[in-house]
């Protein structure tokens, strides 16, 4: 995974070099890779990975930005990104392997969610909702708080509860 993320960094710089207007083009990345008995968690930048479970919500990725100051609603400084610098800069991806529990939930999100919705509110939403409804409610919470940045939300759920809508069969 580290090698793949470093290759992504090289690709962003190569694409940026092809067009002077893209010199500062950059991005963050976060995700999970689920295997039969573990979950590989990775990120570069201020996009986050959380684990939600019976013990609550915990940040399992590493946020490459300083904590927000009182009154701030958006990260101003990100210490590491894929691309995004005038000179090629190496990245040091955060990669971690976690055990896979029978009812694991992982939230992958951009700072468009985590900068404006407090962790306690994210935890409450994930406690009340599952599946697509949870993702929608998280997105809605960010929009309701002004949504000053892109809002990307993905929820990976293994086992546990499901929600159904319309005429769907239970468990679908």
Q: Are strands 29-34 and 82-83 parallel, antiparallel or unpaired?
A: unpaired
Short-list 119, 131, 135, 113, CA closest to 46: 113
> What residues make up the domain containing 105?
2-158
Residue 171 lies in a domain: no
CATH number of the domain encompassing residue 23: 3.60.40.10
- pLDDT tens digit string along 56-90? 999 999 999 887 677 676 667 899 999 999 999 99
SS3 for 161?
coil
Instruction: List for the chain the helix, strand, coil content (%; round to 5).
Output: 25, 25, 45
Confidence of residue 101 (pLDDT cuts 50, 70, 90): confident
Residue 50 lies in a domain: yes
Structural domain count of the chain: 1
Q: Give pTM, 2 decimals.
A: 0.86
Residue 164 lies in a domain: no
CB-facing half-sphere around the CA of 135: CA atoms within 13 A: 17
Residue 167 lies in a domain: no
Confidence of residue 46 (pLDDT cuts 50, 70, 90): very high
């Amino acid at each position: 995974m580290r090698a793949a993320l470093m290759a992504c960094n090289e690709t962003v710089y190569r694409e940026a070099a092809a067009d002077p207007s893209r010199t500062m083009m950059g991005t963050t990345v976060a995700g999970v890779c689920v295997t039969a008995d573990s979950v590989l968690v990775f990120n570069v930048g201020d996009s986050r990975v959380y684990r939600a479970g019976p013990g609550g919500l915990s940040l399992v990725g590493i946020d490459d930005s300083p904590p927000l100051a009182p009154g701030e609603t958006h990260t101003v400084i990100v210490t590491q990104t894929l691309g995004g610098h005038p000179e090629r800069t190496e990245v040091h991806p955060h990669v971690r392997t976690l055990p896979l529990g029978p009812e694991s939930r992982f939230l992958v999100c951009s700072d468009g969610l985590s900068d404006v919705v407090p962790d306690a509110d994210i935890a409450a939403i994930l406690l009340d909702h599952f599946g697509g409804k949870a993702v929608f409610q998280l997105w809605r919470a960010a929009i309701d708080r002004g949504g000053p940045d892109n809002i990307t939300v993905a929820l990976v759920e293994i086992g546990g509860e499901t929600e159904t809508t319309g005429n769907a069969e239970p468990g679908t």
